[in-house]
Amino acid sequence: MSRGLGDVMADVLFVFVREDAARAQALAALFAAADHEIGDGPIDNAALELCGASVVLWSRSAIGSKSFLATAQRVLDSGKGVVASLGQPPPAWVVGNAPIFDLSRWTGDSDDEVLDPMFMAVDYRVSTNRDVLASDQPLEGNLAGWVADLPMSPSGVDAPRPEVAPAQEVLPLEEIRRKRG
């Protein structure tokens, strides 16, 4: 499941309860069709650190589960969470800055326009977090053979180099005194 960025595991993880499994599977299938790798294991610290984004399916059933709430909070605290609300949305103090998308009227149709903003948010997080993860990797292997003599100024035109005056002859102190005097 790796894409060459070290230990990358999944692009998208899903946090849900058993009662919402059909909706989670339908969303996962849509993301997989868009070439995102879907995590299918437990959401531990390593999986959360290496994923691109995590979709939290918020529902009445889900908020009754302590393990769901604990996992959802870890995901939301990581900054990688996107909330797909299947009913009453979570309070703002729970989700912090995570975006919330109302999927309460989603019937499971893969072409439903209600999914577009959520897909964009997840895709943005996946891309951003992949860039961050890739920036942690050594660049030497990727830059081998590249040689560039780039300009140093933003305009692309380097400032003219100051002309250096030719060196003057340095005379010993005694010779200077003789000439003066």
Q: What is the pLDDT of residue 69?
A: 94
pLDDT for residue 78 is more than 70? yes
Average of per-residue pLDDT across 139-150: 54
pLDDT for residue 94 is more than 80? yes
Contacts by residues 155-163 (CB-CB < 8 Å, ≥ 24 positions apart): none
Q: What is the pLDDT of residue 146?
A: 52
Within 10 Å of residue 38's Cβ, how many Cβ atoms?
Answer: 19
Q: What is the pLDDT of residue 133?
A: 61
Q: What is the pLDDT of residue 170?
A: 66
**Whole-number Å distance between alpha carbons of 25 and 19:** 12
**Whole-number Å distance between alpha carbons of 109 and 165:** 77
pLDDT for residue 104 is more than 70? yes
**Whole-number Å distance between alpha carbons of 82 and 164:** 61
Confidence band for 88, pLDDT divided at 50, 70 and 90: very high
The residue with greater pLDDT, 11 or 163, is 11
Average of per-residue pLDDT across 71-99: 92
pLDDT for residue 2 is more than 60? no
User: What's the pTM?
Assistant: 0.69
Beta strands 53-58; 12-15: pairing state: parallel
Q: What is the pLDDT of residue 4?
A: 37
Structural domains of the chain sorted by starting position, each given as residue range(s) with its CATH number in brackets: 12-135 (3.40.50.10140)
Helix axes 21-33, 116-135, angle to 10 degrees: 60
**Whole-number Å distance between alpha carbons of 77 and 96:** 8
Q: What is the pLDDT of residue 136?
A: 62
Write out the E strands in 97-153.
Answer: 100-102
Quick one: CA dihedral 50, 135, 37, 72, positive or negative?
A: positive
Q: What is the pLDDT of residue 166?
A: 66
